[in-house]
């Protein structure tokens, strides 16, 4: 990014603060107009810059919104499209708050759910409920309302409060990630196996291999001595089964080590939540009052 573009990004949000605040105070009845922005003291060029960014954000969100309605979309496709949203959002909101006069807004990946909701709409027709992607102005109206709310919330937060929120939400996400890794998760394509499932699978594989190996050894030992000397195929099969058991046991041990690490991560995150819960709940209660 060039220095010029960076400066443009930095002032895009800060320059719009008066307009966001005024729109928030009047209930965000519609998307901010150029006249309303100018009446609030925002330069026309800054308003246009913000509108362009909002359009770019919508163009980033809408492919995910459209694709997730397609029953043929794969989980990987959806994850890729959804993964593009947060960086665009985070870049503008955080970069736009670099001016020391305005502390950073609290920006989290949970904002993506809100942005997705801002981009889609449902309305009734004679043929039933119809789904559609919102227009640029309607999407911008919701983003403006969201930013206005965040700014109002930010005004009552101290740096310590922001750190508490980030730590708490990071720990919450860590627990969810670990639990999904351990127990699997539901996806558009069905339920994915978790580490616990894989450990059970390898335990069954090892048990089956051990049973087959035992049967082969019994068969070999029942052969007369003179036939054992020529039963190379049985010896090779027994040896291959031993190798398969060793490899399956190695994978099972590797999964058990991963399980232990995830369980350790969960305990650590749970402790962070326990240490911050009282403060976090108090902060959320204050924020809720001004929503």
Q: What is the pTM of this model?
A: 0.60
Place of tokens 């991560």: 265
| Residue 291, pLDDT score | 56
Q: Which neighbouring-strand residues pair with 191?
A: 186
Between 132 and 264, the more confident residue is: 264
| Residue 100, pLDDT score | 42
pLDDT tens by residue, 36-58: 999 988 888 888 888 888 899 99
The residue extents of the domains of the chain are: 3-154, 156-291
Between 258 and 290, the more confident residue is: 258
Considering the chain, what is the average pLDDT of its residues?
Answer: 83
H-helix segments, 104-194: 111-119, 136-154, 159-183
- In this predicted structure, which of 1-15, 52-66, 99-113, 139-153 has the lowest mean pLDDT? 1-15
CA 69 – CA 72 distance, rounded (Å): 9
Name the residue among 255, 114, 136, 281 with its Cα closest to residue 195.
255
Q: Which neighbouring-strand residues pair with 125?
A: 128
pLDDT tens by residue, 96-120: 544 444 555 666 777 888 999 999 8
CA 260 – CA 243 distance, rounded (Å): 26
Model confidence at 87: pLDDT above 50: yes
Secondary structure (3-state) at 204: helix
């Amino acid at each position: 990014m060039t220095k010029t573009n960076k400066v443009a990004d930095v002032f895009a949000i800060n320059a719009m603060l008066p307009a966001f605040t005024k729109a928030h105070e009047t209930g965000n009845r519609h998307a901010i107009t150029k006249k309303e922005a100018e009446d609030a003291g925002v330069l026309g060029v800054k308003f246009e810059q913000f509108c362009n960014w909002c359009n770019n954000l919508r163009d980033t969100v809408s492919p995910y919104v459209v694709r997730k309605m397609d029953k043929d979309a794969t989980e990987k496709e959806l994850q890729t499209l959804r993964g593009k949203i947060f960086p665009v959002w985070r870049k503008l909101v955080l970069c736009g708050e670099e001016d020391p006069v305005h502390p950073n807004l609290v920006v989290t990946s949970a904002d993506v759910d809100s942005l997705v909701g801002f981009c889609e709409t449902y309305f009734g027709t004679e043929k039933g409920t119809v789904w559609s992607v919102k227009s640029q102005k309607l999407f911008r109206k919701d983003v403006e309302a969201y930013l206005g709310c965040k700014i109002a919330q930010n005004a009552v937060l101290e740096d310590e409060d922001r750190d508490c929120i980030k730590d708490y939400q990071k720990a919450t996400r860590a627990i969810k990630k670990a639990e999904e890794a351990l127990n699997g998760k539901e996806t558009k394509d069905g339920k994915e196996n978790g580490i616990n499932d894989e450990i059970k699978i390898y335990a069954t594989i090892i048990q089956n291999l051990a049973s087959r190996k035992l049967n082969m050894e019994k068969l070999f030992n029942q052969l007369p001595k003179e036939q054992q000397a020529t039963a190379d195929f049985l010896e090779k099969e027994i040896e291959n089964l031993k190798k398969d058991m060793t490899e399956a046991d190695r994978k099972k041990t590797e999964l058990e080590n991963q399980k232990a690490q995830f369980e350790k991560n969960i305990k650590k995150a749970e402790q962070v939540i326990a240490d911050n819960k009282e403060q976090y709940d108090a902060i959320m209660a204050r924020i809720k009052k001004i929503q």
